[in-house]
Structure 1
Amino acid sequence: MRYTDRSLRILKYAEMEAERTTKIVYPVHLLLGVLLERTSVCAELYINYPNLTEILNNRVKEIQFDKGDEGFNYEPFTLNISQTTERVLVHAENQMKRFKQVYLNEGHIVDAIFKVNDRLTRAIIDGLDVSRILEIVSLPRDMVVSLKDYSFPSFPKSGITIRKAKQKDASSLKTFIEKEFGNGWLDSIENGFLQEDIPIFIALDGEGIIGFACFDVVRRKKGLFGPMGTSFSNRIQGIGYTLLHYCLGEMKEIGYEFAVIGEAGPLEFYEKACNAVVIPKKFTDHR
């Protein structure tokens, strides 16, 4: 299983918390690890719930863990983990695969913690505003990229062709998207092909389209990047990164000072690829 850098840090923090308490990594330690990871949505969760760490630590002290539970080894942990923690990670991996992603991230982990119906975990999260926690960490988030000082990066040579889509590409692109991602994006793609200057870039190899990215197509909103997708068999090759920057480069040329990435799933990808920042949630109270 592949992990994002942030999720690996969360697992390491979880081990640190387990080392000083139960000596075995339980799901509550994963949640404490999220709170210790003070970046992006994890930092936002900490800010919105400044007393959540204390609440969880107090519950760890109060709950009677099975003293006979020795746990078992599970990579990439160095401490043993509980069976429930394994169930959390398996559920998180299944969630990752469901969304056709290739890296396990913090959102998958937090979602799985609350979905695994375990007695100890239920006792730990009892009374917490689970829906808000999930809204902050696990649901897709809007991000923003400043284009004021943006510069188009250089790319290594490859056998992949990146170019603007033409009207003749409409049918094959829609077929590709429906096969790889379903039909949820087809209306937005149609909006793109209705424009005189089609704001869609496609990636091609010898056998046809293997990826695409666009902007100004979702609900015909200006300055909104996406959707973007690469065929599952061609992930982790830099194709998405290249398509993203072709779009951002053109948005910069048009005159946009910012690009909004709507409902981004792999947050860390955009943070690293183009210094995108998550747009904070606004809540009426702070529990």
Structure 2
Amino acid sequence: MKLTERTLRIIKNADKEAEKTNKVVHPVHLLLGILLERTSVCTELNNNFPNLWDILNERAKDIKLTNDKGVSYEPFTRNIAISTKQVMENASNLMKRYKQIYLNEGHIVEAIFSSEDYSTKSIIDGLDGSRILKIVASPRDMIVSLRSYSLPDIRTNKITFRKAEQNDAISLKKFIKKEFGYGWLDSIDNGFLKDRIPIFIALDDKTILGFACFDVVRNKKGLFGPMGTTHSKRVQGIGYTLLHMCLNEMKEIGYEYAVIGEAGPLEFYEKACNAVVIPKPI
């Protein structure tokens, strides 16, 4: 199981918080670990729920009375409770269901709030779960400044990256239906109706491996996406390259900002292009 760097820091925080109670990591320690991670949506969670730390800290104190010795579970350095093991396994299942390859903080929070375990439910009892989930576990809009943007040095290896052409429409739509379903097809049709097709594709010989586009979702200007890479070829820089080919063209057109709509892997965009999560209204 692969974890984002932020998730690894959250786990490290949870280990430290468990040290203060019964030495075993419980789901409440994961939530405390998220609050200690002052980046991206974790910062937003802190800002929207300034009293959440005190509430969870009080509930963590009750864990001292439990007899759960826990089990070993990497990458935790301390044993984790069975309830925490269930949360991590459910989070991993959510990651797979969303066809993602890195477990992130959103998967963990969603797994905690959907748990049927009594001890876990008692930890989140009375909390504004729907609002917390909207902040941490829902796809979020992000924004990228293009004012000082420059195309990074990209190595393409044996993969071909190019603008899509009209005769790519059938094969691209077939690829998207197979890998991601039917949800993006209307947007792709919008792209192929434009004189200057705002779609880039990655190919191995004639086989499409991925795509990215902009200005196609509801024909909104300055909106990046959708983007997708075949599951078997992820973590090879294909998405990164396609993203920057789109951003570079958006810069050339004259956009000062690019909005990434409903981004799932937030940390990917934060690292790849310094994207920032757009705060949700309180």
Q: Is the structural similarity TM-score above 0.5?
A: yes
Q: How many residues align?
A: 282
Conserved? CA contact 1:163–1:203, under 8 Å: yes
- The DSSP-based 3-state class of the residue aligned with 2:79 is coil
Structure 1 CA distance for aligned equivalents of residues 62 and 30 of structure 2: 18
Structure 2 CA distance for aligned equivalents of residues 122 and 107 of structure 1: 17
Q: Aligned runs of 1:44-193 on 2, under 5 Å?
A: 44-62=44-62, 65-67=65-67, 69-193=68-192
Tell me how far 1:140 sits from its aligned partner.
Answer: 0.1
Aligned counterpart, 1:29: 29
Q: Deviations over 1:92-122 (max 9, x none)?
A: 0010001111000010010001111111121
- The DSSP-based 3-state class of the residue aligned with 2:12 is helix
AA at the equivalent of 1:75: E
Q: Structure 2: any 5+ residue segments left out of the alignment?
A: none
TM-score normalised by structure 1 residue count? 0.97
Conserved? CA contact 2:22–2:63, under 8 Å: no
Conserved? CA contact 2:10–2:37, under 8 Å: yes
Q: Structure 1: any 5+ residue segments left out of the alignment?
A: none
Q: Structure 1 vs Structure 2: percent identity of aligned residues?
A: 68
Aligned counterpart, 1:15: 15
Conserved? CA contact 1:40–1:277, under 8 Å: yes
Conserved? CA contact 1:215–1:226, under 8 Å: yes
Tell me how far 1:157 sits from its aligned partner.
Answer: 4.2
Runs of 4+ residues over 4 Å off in structure 1: none
Aligned pair 1:235/2:230, yes or no? no
Q: Deviations over 1:139-192 (max 9, x none)?
A: 000000000000001112400000000000000000000000000000000000
Conserved? CA contact 1:6–1:106, under 8 Å: yes
Conserved? CA contact 1:63–1:120, under 8 Å: no
Tell me how far 1:61 sits from its aligned partner.
Answer: 2.0
AA at the equivalent of 2:149: Y
TM-score normalised by structure 2 residue count? 0.98
Conserved? CA contact 2:34–2:105, under 8 Å: yes
AA at the equivalent of 1:278: V
Q: Deviations over 1:240-273 (max 9, x none)?
A: 0000000000000000000000000000000000
CA RMSD after TM alignment = 0.9
Structure 2 CA distance for aligned equivalents of residues 162 and 33 of structure 1: 40
Aligned counterpart, 2:210: 211
Aligned counterpart, 2:221: 222
- The DSSP-based 3-state class of the residue aligned with 2:227 is strand
Conserved? CA contact 2:22–2:64, under 8 Å: no
Structure 1 CA distance for aligned equivalents of residues 144 and 183 of structure 2: 24
